[in-house]
Amino acid sequence: MGPVEITLLAVLAAAVVALIVALAFTASRNGRDSRSEMEEFSKRGLQLDNREQRLDEREDALRSRARELSAREELLEGAEAKQAAELERVAGLSAMSAKEEIFARAERETKLQVANLTRDIEAEGRRKAEYNAKLLIIEAIQRLAVDQTSESVIASVHLPSDEMKGRIIGREGRNIRAFEQLTGVNVMVDDSPETVLISCFEPMRREQARIALEDLVSDGRIYPARIEEAVERAGRKVKEEGMKAAEDALLTMGITDMAPDLIEHLAVLNYRTSYGQNVLAHSIESGKLAGVMAAELGLNQETIVRSAFLHDIGKSVSDSNGSHASIGAELARRAGEHPDVVHAIAAHHNEVEAHTVEDLLTQAADAMSGGRPGARRESLEAYVNRLTKLEEIASAHEGVEKAYSMQAGREVRVMVVPDKVSDSEAHTLAKDIAKEIEQGLAYPGNIKVTVVRESRATATAH
């Protein structure tokens, strides 16, 4: 054998040895891994056995707890049954009867709530219907000129009961007499249920009497001294309401710089009428119409609106000589109004020549407001003028303190100062007034003149 062959055999032998060694190492390692896996499997099995044992123990505990709960539930059911039986024995009702009673009570309460709700809804509906009906009636009255004055000279006062009528009349009529003498109105107590009517052609006196009577009725104490207090308070309230109406009118017209004296005269206009038309409302309407026409013509609206709004301010003065146009112009002049405004007031009935645009637009606005359908009624104005003339004739005599037209002009009631007019002179005064009425006034039927002389003695204890 040569060296080469020897070398190859050595290499081959070495390779065989290495292969044997590798195989032996692999077999040894596989044996160790198998043992580890067996040990791991053994541990897991032991753990599973322990867990199963614990689960069995828990299951036994739960079964025991379930048996205890079932026993307790049976005990509770028995106690509830005993309690229900005891309640039924004490209340005298069975469970079904008690349930029916509860349902019946709930039904009654629900029906009551529904009834109250229905009543409230019906009341609200009636209020809205009455309000809308009043609006429709007012509009119809404005559009219909009739020969009646009752809707313009009568106010109604609601009473809580008809028993209140006896209190208003008083013993032997002393309360109603005192009220009529202090207010100058007629109080009509008739068969109308829970209602008393107040009749007076003068709106301010009528409103004062209405407020005073409502105050007396709400208080319940009615006697002459209390009547005097109520009438005084009502007079102040009428003035306050007039001032509020005047301020609202100025706000409506956008006028913010009116003199205080003119505002007081505007407040009086709230209780004045011209042929049945409220003078303050007529003034507002005239001012708006004049403003619209001035805007269409591209003129100064402020002066024209002011002129039309103030054109009847003179009607607030009732006891003076001269026309309301001249009186109103003088009032505006004293209050510092612009000369164009003063001239427009004086010229709105052509008593002075109308030559400015303010004059002409004031006249047009006045005619448009007064001429619309239903705005004015000639018969009412003639009626009011006759009653006013009656009071003027009576008031012109010396010693007369107050004079009131009563019973729609069929009676004139005259209150005299007792220190100036004696009892005998009172009879003479009544005849003199009646004679002047016959000579200076045209009227239907008869007019009764009543002179009232009342003496009062007052002393103060200190």
pLDDT digits (tens, 9 = 90+) for 341-385: 999 999 998 888 888 888 988 988 888 777 766 666 655 666 677
- Residue range(s) occupied by CATH 3.30.1370.10 in the chain: 150-239
Q: Say yes or no to pLDDT of 456 above 60.
A: yes
Distances (CA, A) of 54 to 41, 61, 67, 258: 20, 11, 20, 103
Overall pTM surpassing 0.85 (yes/no)? no
How large a percentage of the chain has pLDDT more than 90?
14
Average pLDDT of the chain is 80
Region(s) of the chain under CATH 3.30.70.1350: 380-453
Give the whole-angstrom CA distance, residue 181 versus residue 310: 34
pLDDT value at residue 462 = 63
* SS3 track for 306-317: HHHHCCCHHHHC
Please state which CATH class domain 380-453 belongs to.
Answer: alpha beta
The class (CATH top level) of 256-376 is mainly alpha
Provide the CATH topology of domain 150-239: Ribosomal Protein S8; Chain: A, domain 1 (3.30.1370)
Q: Which two tokens stand for residue 139?
A: 């509009």
Residue 81 CB neighbour total at 10 angstroms: 10
Structure confidence by residue, pLDDT tens digits, 284-302: 988 888 888 888 777 888 9
Every domain of the chain with CATH number 1.10.3210.10 lies at 256-376
- Residue type (1 letter), 262: L
